[in-house]
Amino acid sequence: MNEILALSGVAQAALIRNRKISPEELFQLHVERIEEVNPGIHAVVEVMPFSAPQDGPFRGVPFSIKDSIEVEGTVCSAGTWGYRNAPRSTRDATLVARLRAAGAVPVARTNLPDLLFAFESNNLIFGRTNNPYDHSRTSGGSSGGEAALIASCGSPFGLGSDAAGSVRLPAHYCGIASLKPTSGRLARTGHVPPPGGWVEGLWQIGPMARHVEDLQALMPILLGPDELDRTVIPMPYPGVPLENLRVAYFTDNGFAEPDLETHIVVSGAGRALGGVESRPPGVERSHELEMRFLGADGGDGVREFLTSIGSDRTHPLLDSWLEKLEEYRTDLEGFASCWALIDQLRASMHAYLSLYDVILSPVSGSPALLHGTSIEEQNFKGFSYTMTHNLTGWPAAVVRCGTSTTGLPIGVQIAAAPWREDIVLAVARRLEEIFGGWRPAPDAILVNP
């Protein structure tokens, strides 16, 4: 593998500025890498032709996009059957346009689950994405194609989206870094399905990268209202020194006990930052509250959307999700009760911030799962760690801090107060420095189907 491919996007941009490589040459290197690794990982659904870059800080640097975010001239399928032959997009999603304006060049669209509803990336149109470190295991979902491609050096960074952990879990499984910004931080215009309904407060589009410095460089480029997504709040983006941050960490949320290796990695990260072992009140209810919130109508809204777009075939993982949502069907009184409990969780978590600036925790209960097992109840409970910060709307990042005895990445989740993405990324950068962050999978695994 060409060593340039393993560099951050920031470093690749510097090579272009210093005329060490041209944008066309860098783009071609990434295309060749995609051709090398994609037969094994099945992360890319379309490679795009080179387009002349605009001037900007990332001039000439390729980036990838989850196939639920529109790119002009391409079909945005969201992995669902009814969109397999959808009309080509006539415009870029807002965040894609902002990356282009910064000089970045789209290189590939990446795989995901059917209508984004699974913690694995597998659908009836493009099939399943494999984990670069072990093809018998999933890369996660719903931004699993992004994570697998970035981890394999087919793209330095890209865009995913997250309503229950969908940029953080794949980053954990594939050993890269990612950020779910504060709810209302980034414009979601051009996402499929579009924002709307009571669940829209749970999700954000978020950047993913091998190196935290790219996430730090991308956030100022991506943020700000676009006059189309009414939920975006024009909050300032501050900067913070790492000194004197009060760090808490916990390894068990009281609902889904993680495996021993995850416990050891998270504890090590917390101690490395001088943290105090402390668990925020109420996190043990995260799974219940997220599922009650998503499933208040028993999944009818999802079914109606599928019907409206002609998705008369659905993937078994989506079917299993809908079965789980059916268990949480309720009436108006039950929904009001759920909403009140979520407000209580947000209030108690906010009060906890008077004690700590940063909270470290597992990303899930274990490293990457075997294909097809994410829906099993014990595994599914493990996703409660990311759900917590969708419910609160807090920013949360993931960075690799360890490796299992079987060679799988283990990430740590870092959360902070609303609008303090600068804090979570600064801490993620420090943990990356201490523990090494991303490291390549053996090429033999990367290239074998």
Rounded Cα gap, residues 196 and 214, in angstroms: 30
Q: List, for residues 398-427, the tens digit of each pLDDT value.
A: 999 999 999 999 999 999 999 999 999 999
Residue 206 β-bridge partners? 160
Packed helices 332-352 and 384-392: angle between N→C axes, nearest 10 degrees: 90
Asked if residue 65 lies in contact with residue 161, where contact means CB atoms within 8 angstroms, the answer is no
The residue segments making up the domain with residue 29 are 3-447
Catalytic residue selected from 66, 155, 180, 374: 66
142 catalytic per annotation: yes
Alpha helices in 353-442 (DSSP H): 377-381, 384-392, 421-435
What is the model's pLDDT at position 444? 39
Q: Do the strands 105-110 and 62-66 form a parallel or antiparallel pair, or are they unpaired?
A: parallel
Catalytic residue selected from 89, 142, 286, 384: 142
Q: What are the tokens at 287?
A: 């799974």
Count of structural domains within the chain: 1
What is the model's pLDDT at position 449? 30
Rounded Cα gap, residues 5 and 209, in angstroms: 12
Q: List, for residues 338-395, the tens digit of each pLDDT value.
A: 999 999 999 999 999 999 999 999 999 999 999 999 999 999 999 999 999 999 999 9
What is the model's pLDDT at position 443? 54
pLDDT interval class at 243 (50, 70, 90):
confident
Q: Looking at residues 133-143, what average pLDDT do you find? A: 97
Taking the CA atoms of the chain, what radius of gyration do you get in angstroms?
20
pLDDT interval class at 441 (50, 70, 90):
confident
Residue located via tokens 């979601």: 188
Residue 64 β-bridge partners? 108, 158
Q: What are the tokens at 424?
A: 């979570």
Helix (H) or strand (E) holding 436: none
324 catalytic per annotation: no
Across the chain, mean pLDDT equals 96
Nearest alpha-carbon partner for 390 in 223, 216, 181, 239: 181
The letter for the amino acid at 178 is S
Q: Looking at residues 202-224, what average pLDDT do you find? A: 97
Q: What are the tokens at 45?
A: 């659904």
Q: List, for residues 379-393, the tens digit of each pLDDT value.
A: 999 999 999 999 999
Catalytic residue selected from 8, 68, 139, 166: 166
Nearest alpha-carbon partner for 177 in 424, 446, 365: 424
Q: List, for residues 21-38, the tens digit of each pLDDT value.
A: 999 999 999 999 999 999
Q: Is the bond preceding residue 193 a cis peptide, omega within 30 degrees?
A: yes
Which one-letter DSSP state was computed for residue 87?
Answer: P
**CATH code of the domain in which 91 resides:** 3.90.1300.10
Q: What are the tokens at 383?
A: 């996703």
Packed helices 23-41 and 9-17: angle between N→C axes, nearest 10 degrees: 150
166 catalytic per annotation: yes
Q: Looking at residues 306-312, what average pLDDT do you find? A: 97
CA angle 8-139-195, nearest 5°?
A: 85
| pLDDT over 60 at 94, yes or no | yes
What is the model's pLDDT at position 196? 78
Nearest alpha-carbon partner for 140 in 395, 327, 328, 317: 317
Q: List, for residues 170-208, the tens digit of each pLDDT value.
A: 999 999 999 999 999 999 999 999 887 778 889 999 999
- Of the CA atoms within 13 Å of residue 228, those in its CB half-sphere come to 12
What is the model's pLDDT at position 119? 98
Rounded Cα gap, residues 166 and 143, in angstroms: 6
What is the model's pLDDT at position 174? 98
Q: Looking at residues 429-435, what average pLDDT do you find? A: 98
> How far from chain centre, in Å, is Cα 351?
27
pLDDT above 90 covers what percent of the chain?
94
Number of neighbouring beta carbons within 10 Å of residue 246: 15
Rounded Cα gap, residues 108 and 114, in angstroms: 19
Asked if residue 345 lies in contact with residue 282, where contact means CB atoms within 8 angstroms, the answer is yes
Q: Looking at residues 148-154, what average pLDDT do you find? A: 98
| pLDDT over 50 at 272, yes or no | yes
Whether the full predicted model's pTM is greater than 0.85, yes or no, is yes
